Amino acid sequence: MSFNACDESGDWPPRSCLAVVLAAGESTRMRSARPKVLHELAGRSMLAHVLSALEEAGAAEVAIVAGPDHEAIVDEAKKLRPGAIIAVQAERLGTAHAVLAARDTIAKGYDDLLVVFADTPLVRPETFNAMRKKLARGQDAVVALGFKAKDPAGYGRFICEDGRLQSIREERDATEAERGIYFCNAGLMALDGRRALSLLESIGNANSKKEFYLTDAVAAARARGFGVGSEIAGEDEVMGINDRAQLAAAEAVLQARLRAAAMRGGATLIDPNSVTLAFDTVLGHDTVTEPHVVFGPGVHVGEGARIRSFSYLEGADIGPNAIIGPFARFRPDTMLAEDVHIGNFVEVKASNIGHGTKINHLSYIGDASIGSGTNVGAGTVICNYDGVAKYRTEIGENVFVGSNSALVAPVKIGSGAYIGSGSVITGDVAPDALALGRARQIEKPGRGKALRQRPRKEPCPLAKEQVPAGTPASGSEKDGL
């Protein structure tokens, strides 16, 4: 059994904690084949948000209560918490019944038991810790989480006397007076682990739905003379998600949190409401993000960088003072050094780009390594895929790649090399060499005028013309460059 401290100040001793995460709900109102708790907020599942918050709150052990056919939930849980215990709720007979699916684990005797919901993903670690801290004082066997509702309809009500929680009444079982209470049940609960199993097993189903309600743990504790406490959270924090509209509302709440944290950390968001962040986005000091930028998971932006409008970044490490976009797309495994410039309509994927390199216009860079000080011209494409496999391209330092070039991987271009515009490069290029891969140009005096003056129905004669053998090259080739 693991033990952990929940208060770094040391004013209460380390305590063991088991979290039981109820994740057996279906996705009926979501109208989705995907289990509800695997729908994402800010780039990760609801279940992942809950497990992360529990880990920060010191819940060293986790039991996931899933339905009998929820392999995807089990896989997600094991990916995030490999040691998680999986309990199956075969029948749905209420929340207390669901918690008791983890009976054997609860019986091990943890100091604290947290009961949480996988579809309530915005609860902060600080809130879980506040509930645990009240248990640690030894006065309460149950601590229920509540909130002050703007509209209490549909919620269970906290029935209090002299500021102490007496019971929780489901709305369908509440009196008219009790329905006027605005202090409502969030559903989450912390229980004294030494008494939790006995309390849960004592809960009956004498209610209109004949279900075993977790909320009845409050009355069960008071009936035995145990103390009952409550903790208050903001209404947005305890938002449950059952449909797509609620998912969007939760996303808005989470995005507001992430944006505020980024700005407090020293990043500028010119129009915060138009920027979408992922749960793990890191924006360094003095970074500037222009409007309408989307950060997918796994993005780190170094100090002083600027992300211009309408860019999409995922799985990328952006070096200090880089300039990205507008209209740039970064795909996973992209790493940029300091002072790199990636311009409009440039896509970069699985590539390392060195200090001061510039790729400013209309290019695709995939599976490549590019040294420092290199310039990649407009319209350059790295041809990294042959329909079966992908190959890498290596470009050295201080290389000039002319516009409208295609680099057919695998290929290596040495430092200081020069690629003539419009070239198709299929072989390695030595350092400091000039490489050209163009079709030869010919010129026929007066033919342009003749073509313009031909009868409209006459076929274009250029379709049948051939370039005669030995025709001299034009442009840089003809000039002997």
β-bridge partners, 114: 19, 190
Tokens of 379: 């319209």
Q: Is the peptide bond before 326 cis (omega within 30 degrees of 0)?
A: yes
CB distance 420 to 402 below 8 Å: yes
User: Helix, strand, coil % (nearest 5) of the chain?
Assistant: 20, 30, 50
Total residue count of the chain as it appears in this document: 481
Q: How far apart are the first and last CA of the chain?
A: 75
Q: CA-CA distances (angstroms) from residue 455 to 448, 449, 461?
A: 14, 12, 12
What three-state secondary structure class fits 51? helix
Verify cis geometry, omega within 30 degrees of 0, for the bond prior to 410.
yes
Q: What are phi and psi of 58, to 5 degrees?
A: 90, 15
Q: Which of 39, 97, 355, 361 is catalytic?
A: 361
What is the DSSP code (8-state) at residue 204?
Answer: -
Classify each residue of 313-337 as buried b or exposed e, where b means 16 or more C-beta atoms within 10 Å of its C-beta: bbbbbbbbbbbbbbbbbbbebbbbb
Asked if 39 is an active-site residue, the reply is: no
Which active-site residues does the annotation give? Answer: 361
